[in-house]
Structures are given as C-alpha cells and as structure tokens.
Amino acid sequence: MTEATITADPTVPMVRITRDFDATPEQLFRAHTDPELFARWAGPEAMTNKIDYWDAKDGGSWRYVAHRDGEEYAFRGCFHEVSPQRIVQTFTFEGFPDGVALETLTFEDLGDGRTRLHAQSLVDSFEGRDAFLASGMETGVNEGYTKLERLVQSDLRL
C-alpha cells in the first residue's frame, strides 16, 4: 500500500492508520525518534519543521513547530514508551490544547526489508475524533509518509 489506510473506529474515539514501507522496522523507528530525521519528513510537502525540543525516551517530551506561508503550527507531547517495537506518546496541536491524543505506533516486520506501520490515535470524544479527521490530517499523513519513504530509500543507513 502506497497510501495510508485511515479508518475511524466505530466503537471508540480512535483513528487507525496503516501503511507499508520499503524499509526495515529499525529504519522507521529511527526516523520517528531522531529529531533531525523526523523534522525532514513529518507533515505535508508545503511545510517545514523546526524542532524545539526532543527527548525520545520513556518519560521524555517533544515539541516542534511546522511552518507554511508565514504561518506557524506548534505540536507537543510526551513519550510514554519508546522501544524498537513500539512508541507510545501524547500528541497535542497547540492551536487546540484541550485535544490531547494518545498515540501508539508499532512496526510490523514483513520481511525482505519491508515494514507495516500501525498507528492509532485515541482522543477523548467522537467529536474530537471527527474534528481530527476533518483537519486535513489525511493530506499530512500521506504526504509525510511519502517523504518518509523517500528519506529511507535515499539513505539506507537510517
């Protein structure tokens, strides 16, 4: 799958995202935990990211600011678990500070240098989930993951 599958869970306020990559689990893990690499791929094509702080370890925190056409969008969160198999973190868009998501990322090794990334974001209400989906996240997810795919293919040492 070259585009992410994005689904809204009908029973809980959760969004599930799945995408396959021509990359190893180790490459994807590093791209999610190394701040310099993360800044290069996260979000839509038209945005650039500046990492404010990034401490990818259990109990660490992070914040980055995305820039586009003179506008800024800040995001922050806390890492609850950081391991090569799974990352659990919170995610908050500072423009809507009450909307905190609990995100879990897992890296499923498909063999032959391929990995399926599973991401789920749990929010506090169905309204919050629907606002999350309506925010343009599909574009950001797909364009960001396309950049991630290019990044790991251009530098196999990741």
Confidence at residue 133, expressed as pLDDT on a 0 to 100 scale = 86
DSSP letter for 98, please: T
Is residue 37 within 8 Å of 30, Cβ to Cβ? yes
> What's the pLDDT at 136?
78
For residue 156, the model assigns a pLDDT of: 57
Give the domains, in start order, of the chain with CATH numbers: 46-104 (3.30.530.20)
Tokens read off for 89? 């973190």
In whole angstroms, give the CA distance from residue 32 to residue 3.
18
Averaged pLDDT in 10-residue chunks for the chain of 158 residues: 87 96 96 97 95 98 96 97 97 89 97 96 92 84 94 76
pLDDT for 157 equals: 59
pLDDT at 97: 85
Provide the pLDDT for residue 112.
95
Residue 120 structure tokens: 């789920």
Instruction: Give the pLDDT confidence score for residue 80 in this predicted structure.
Output: 98
The answer to whether the CB of 103 falls within 8 A of the CB of 119 is: yes
CB atoms under 10 Å from CB of 83, counted, come to: 11
What pLDDT shows up at residue 22? 94
d(CA 106, CA 128): 23
Please give the pLDDT value at position 135.
81
Predicted TM-score of the model (pTM): 0.92
